[in-house]
Amino acid sequence: MSKPLVIVESPAKAKTLARFLGNQFRVEASVGHVRDLPENASEVPAGIKDKPWGRMGVDVDAGFKPYYVISSDRKSRIRELKAAVADADEVLLATDPDREGESISWHLREVLKPKGTVKRVVFHEITEEAVLDAIAHARDIDLKLVDAQESRRILDRLYGYMLSPVLWKKVQTGLSAGRVQSVAVRLIVEREEERRAFRRSTYWDLDARIRAGETQFIASLVRVGDERVATGKDFDPNTGALTGRNVRLLDEAAARTMRDTLAGRLPWVVSAVEEKPTTQRPSAPFTTSTLQQEANRKLGFSADRTMSAAQRLFQDGVISYHRTDSTTLSDRALRESARAIQGLYGDAFYSGPRQYQTKVKNAQEAHEAIRPTDFDQTPQSLSLPPDEARLYDLIWKRTVASQMADARLLRTTLEITATGADGRAHVFTASGKAIQFAGFLRAYVEGSDDPASELGDQETILPKLVVGDRVTAPGQGPLTLGGLDPKAHETLPPPRYTDASLVKRLEEDGIGRPSTYASIIQTIERRGYVWRQGKALIPSYTAFAVTRLLKDHFGQLVELGFTGRVEEDLDQVSNGDLDRTQFLEQFYNGQDGWPGLRHLVTNEDRIEYPVIDIGTEPTSGQKVVVRIGRYGAYAQMGDANASIPEDVAPADFTLEQALKLLKDRVQGPQSLGTDPKTALPVYVLTGRFGPYVQLGEPPEKGSKEKPRRASLTKNDHPDSLTLERALELLSLPRLVGHDAETGQDIIANFGRFGPYVKRGDEFRSLGGDAEVFAVTLDQAIELFKQEKKGRRRTATRTVLREVGLHPASQAKVEVLEGRYGPYVTDGTTNASVPKDVVVDALTLEEAVGLLKAREGVTPKKGRGRAPAKRTAAAPRKRATKRSA
């Protein structure tokens, strides 16, 4: 009798399962999805190519029938799986325990057509106990869950394929629209618009440094007579205008006068002391959303990086399933966490089992929270790669802390009153917090979207004072005034979204599913809709134009409640309460309050090219606008236009900056002087990639000859640039010398990632800008002898990840960023990374499998294909800062 065949998605998961199942089962991996809707024209089946809906692969006239295809890079794997299925009397489909996993299992059954028994196996952690229990309770495929997932896939295909061409015609070729993607972009754009509208205000306050013995604390002025002293909360967070009533706004002069007056009017009196015991409860265990938020706050991880590390931890059997809305823990997890707490911290720190109520809109599938599979595996006891180790530390501590006792705190507020020259009371307050019993804080302290608020998690111990204590001059008593410090504050515009705050907002509004947030953020970044400045997500002007068009002409499809309603209806489909065809019919043709996608896109002529208003030129009254062109965003006033540097955030691009760019463009480039060697003029100009210098006149339109150019470094400024510095930059790249050992020249230059030296195809970073002109041949050779520091990207090609060495050829296997998405290569063969595979989670076995499937395959033209062959001597064109 043949062994039962277990099929999972990834080789890493298959490898972990094989350890538990031993010789009783055969375990194979599908390597993600086995089929999908056609991605390009070459994949569209011949029978539907001439249909008006053929490009989408969805028959909108016959019940939204999908036409699924197996891509060429999966056919080899399908043949292998069919051979394995043919030898198996029983097939167990053990894909992930969610709707997408259910759909993958269904597709596997439809494609492989097993002759034996087919069962669905669901487990939420890869442990021997969980897997064997799941096999013992195998069930049939849940077709209602499949219907819900396939409905989502079809709806998103209709949305993207019908709206994206509108963006190509009206904004820019190659743009894309998506049901959740476009709403996420809208949120980021609207936050940037709020920042543009914000007007900063300055206010002052007064801090008193007070010393009691060895303890010093700060008391801030909060009230003068009956008037509160204005603080940040008295200003409108959206406009910056003062809104607080009965408040006194201090300017610098008033604050300094008050300092001089009050310092001479000692003693002051402690007028109130309040001590208030409080209790602080632990947070719930992680869900997908809260894990992404906390990893971004505490570790600086993007959502994609978090999910990649979590995927590897799950596949290795270290944590439970990481795509979940639930905050509940199983009985076994509750017992194990209790034992861990009592063993590590003592009985006093365990308060009995806690369960938490899930608060997520449209929460689906009754999974557990994300937790360790074995609580005895402390973060210190496991040997994990850096990202996984840091994330596991977060998960372990958060889960354990969720079951620990409350922290008991004592909050103290002191009020100190000084009498001004006018007889009015000037009241200062100071707040403190003492931890009386740490409870769960021994294990974990939660992060915050506001870094300043995290300071509240530190103890602030105030001295023991009583009403009537006097603040005197130094040397005159135990409580003395050390000084008075006027301080200026500036109101800040609403903070830009980060991965953490955007995920939180999407979840609060029921937009999409937490399991998709990482891919959504990755997509909008790759498409050039956003770029990063530290943790902040900054929208491009392209995002502004797309959002303007969609809001003006397809407003219902980008309303915050629209995608939430989609999720609610999909839940009804998964529960069997709503027919799949009826759901899609409502969305497409418009019924029961749905807008009707088909009707919205039929009248494209009414759609105008979106422009972004910057303001009006004061003298002429002409409008200044931003448009999107072939080479990016540009400012326009009348017939004049000028490129906007790509690293300028829209909220920071002012009318004055736009007018200067336009003026410089009309007047022509600024001349710094003449190069004595060539007698050619040297100009400083500004382009889409920022300021640069140019040797010689600007080329005639259509001319193939380009003058020599060099970008300014971050330490150079166009207004202060000298001719000598410009010529120095134009002299690059600089020949450092000839390496006799390798027979290659070494050059120094500035690149995308800063100053570097290059020898052949090798690069090494330099310590500073000045070293480009100062590094010697011996110093450069020594740099090349040192191990190269890891970097996500090189200067000549975009390397996303080094996977390892090919087991057969020992060639380096890498994941590169291609024009149409990431692809894996060993230097000889290339293979596209499937869209459902997370790059950072791709294992060497998976990469080799993808390459093997592409060997001997003739490359096809079209989107989504990496070239079949590429040599190292022909690198791909380097991506610009925000190119896809």
Tell me the catalytic residues. 321
Helix, strand, coil proportions of the chain in percent (round to 5)?
35, 25, 40
- Phi-psi category of residue 594: left, alpha or beta, with phi > 0 → left and psi -120 to 50 → alpha: beta
**Residue 311, number of CB atoms within 10 A of its CB:** 24
Q: What is the dihedral of CA 299, 304, 309, 314, to 10 degrees?
A: 130
From CA 517, how far away is CA 499, in angstroms rounded?
Answer: 9
Nearest partner of 310 among 515, 513, 508, judged by Cα: 515
Could you tell me if 276 and 434 are in contact, meaning their C-beta atoms sit under 8 angstroms apart?
no
Q: Which residues in 689-781 belong to E strands, given as ranges?
A: 690-695, 708-711, 734-739, 744-751, 754-759, 762-765
The span from the CA of 405 to the CA of 426, in Å, is 41
Q: Give the whole-angstrom CA distance, residue 441 versus residue 408.
A: 10
Q: At what angle do helices 143-170 and 541-553 cross, to 10 degrees?
A: 110
Helix (H) or strand (E) holding 634: strand 632-637
Quote the CA–CA distance of 721 and 712 in Å, as a whole number: 9
Give the 3-state secondary structure of residue 560: helix
CA nearest to 104, candidates 24, 3, 13, 2: 13
Measured CA to CA, the distance from residue 766 to residue 18 in angstroms comes to: 47
Residue type, 531: W
Answer for the pair 479, 210: CB distance below 8 angstroms, yes or no: yes
For 618, counting Cβ atoms within 10 Å of its Cβ (0-12 exposed, 13-18 middle, 19+ buried), the class is exposed
Nearest one of 296, 295, 297, 282 to 327, comparing CA atoms: 282
Any bridge partners for residue 538, and if so which?
A: 531
Structure tokens at 622: 């002409």
- From start to end of 87-226, where are the E strands? 90-93, 117-120, 202-212, 215-224
**In this structure, are residues 241 and 252 in contact, taking their beta carbons and an 8 Å threshold?**
no
